[in-house]
Structure 1
Amino acid sequence: MPFINIKMTKGRSLEQKRELVDGITKEIVRVLDVKPEWVTIVIDEYSRDNWASNGEIHSIKFGQGCGKQGTGEK
């Protein structure tokens, strides 16, 4: 029984998360040849105040957006 744990910053919509878990489930079923009901996915969400890389807190480095929002990238 595959157990997938996704860690990401808060801010994604329910629709984005639904699409994400649907796609991951389908790929796990295809690659591992298991039934979809055997696939468990847990999403852990963190605020940017509690996430850092390269010694910098993400809410300061990138702003409050999620993903590429708040970084100036498109």
Structure 2
Amino acid sequence: MPQIAVTIAKGRTPQQIRNMLHEVHAAVLRTVDTRPEHIRVTVHEVPHTHWATGDVTIAETRSLPADGSAAVEPAAAMDPAAPADARQGGTDVGHPAAFTTATDMELT
């Protein structure tokens, strides 16, 4: 009995979610030897403020200018109580191009 859990950032319409459920179900049905009524698909929607990559939330990433000129400081970099190595930074994690997540992809 296949069970598929999809975690996705909030913001899709109910129809987009329904279309995704249908497509995931169809893909499992095509590729796994099981009956349609045995396939379970669940969707977990996460608020943009509760999903972070590189200590920068989706909400923070989307608040950057289009040219990426203003980097978002990770929370550890702003916290004087954080360990020194966490405050050093290094890469421009706030630049939108630094992120490649499923949440950045649109369903077609």
Same fold per TM (> 0.5)?
yes
TM-score normalised according to structure 2 size: 0.56
CA distance, structure 2, for counterparts of residue 51 and residue 58 of structure 1:
6
Unaligned 5+ segments in structure 2 are: 64-102
* 1:59 matched residue in structure 2: 59
Instruction: Tell me: higher relative CO, structure 1 or 2? Use CA pairs within 8 A at least 6 residues apart.
Output: 1
Number of residue-to-residue matches in the alignment:
67
* 1:34 matched residue in structure 2: 34
In the TM superposition, residue 17 of structure 1 has moved relative to its aligned partner by 0.8
SS of the counterpart of 2:44?
A: strand
Change over 3 Å in CA distance of 1:68–1:30 after alignment to 2: closer
Bigger strand fraction = 1
Superposed structure 1 runs of 4+ greater than 6 Å apart? none
Taking every aligned residue pair, what percent have the same amino acid on both sides?
A: 22
* 2:20 matched residue in structure 1: 20
TM-score normalised according to structure 1 size: 0.80
In the TM superposition, residue 68 of structure 1 has moved relative to its aligned partner by 6.0
